[in-house]
Amino acid sequence: MSEKRTTASAEYAASFAARLIIPEAAEPHLGYRGISRCLDMVVSALLLALSLPLLLAAATLIYLSSPGPILFRHRRLGLRGRPFLCFKFRTMIPGAHSRRNEVKETLQISGTRVKHRRDPRVTPVGRLLRRFSIDEFPQLFNVLVGDMSLVGPRPLPIDELEQCTPDQLQRLAVKPGLTCIWQVSGRSEIDLEGQIRLDLEYIRRRTLWLDLSILMRTPWVVLSGRGAY
């Protein structure tokens, strides 16, 4: 991504965020926020240390298999609309964004979201990384620094947030997460509206025990590869 485009994206994200009025969600029970943050820091640091060989292997495969950066950085909105840079391993060919409309037409995709099993922009290595969610491992850094949490609504691209109703935008009342309730309930097999509905349900129901339940279910869902594309 060029410096000019990155700057424009940052300005656009800040402009959109400034128009939002999102109250922070109430703490579900005493001590939840502090315990959740401690859990985020300890688990993300531990997972980063344990997965270092996997991260290095993924980075090497991306570097050797296609030109372009190893990491994909995209500006998302976090708690109460605060912009931050979200990290992922790059899974698409260079210039993928410029082919967005072409892919939508070819695959007959309507709406804002372009996510399809047969997306020709995804590289062979990228498909492997996506199948087991390895492409999202760099977001452990986002969790460690506090932009994200281990559990919470997945951070959506800003163009998808623009299509949300005021009620749907309440998903920004909590930190975005590395995993979430719809990730363990079908992943991409659930449409965007269904995902947002489950995000709002999570916010209403969230407790430390629900977070732990989602975390414990996530590895099995990831290893199965179900709904990943």
**pLDDT tens, position by position, 20-65:** 878 888 889 889 999 999 999 999 999 999 999 999 999 999 999 9
* Confidence (pLDDT) at 4: 45
Task: Please tell me what DSSP assigns to residue 88.
Answer: E
Q: What is the pTM of this model?
A: 0.85
Do β-strands 83-89 and 177-179 pair in parallel, antiparallel, or remain unpaired?
Answer: unpaired
Q: What is the pLDDT of residue 192?
A: 82
Q: Between these two residues, 93 and 187, which has the higher pLDDT value?
A: 93
Q: Kindly state the percentage of the chain with pLDDT values over 70.
A: 86
Q: Cβ-count burial of 162 within 10 angstroms (0-12 exposed, 13-18 middle, 19+ buried)? A: exposed
Residues 6 or more apart whose Cβ sits within 8 Å of residue 154: 176, 177, 180, 182, 183, 195, 199
What is the rounded average pLDDT of the residues 163-192?
87
Mean pLDDT of 77-88: 92
- Contacts (Cβ under 8 Å, ≥6 apart) of 124: 65
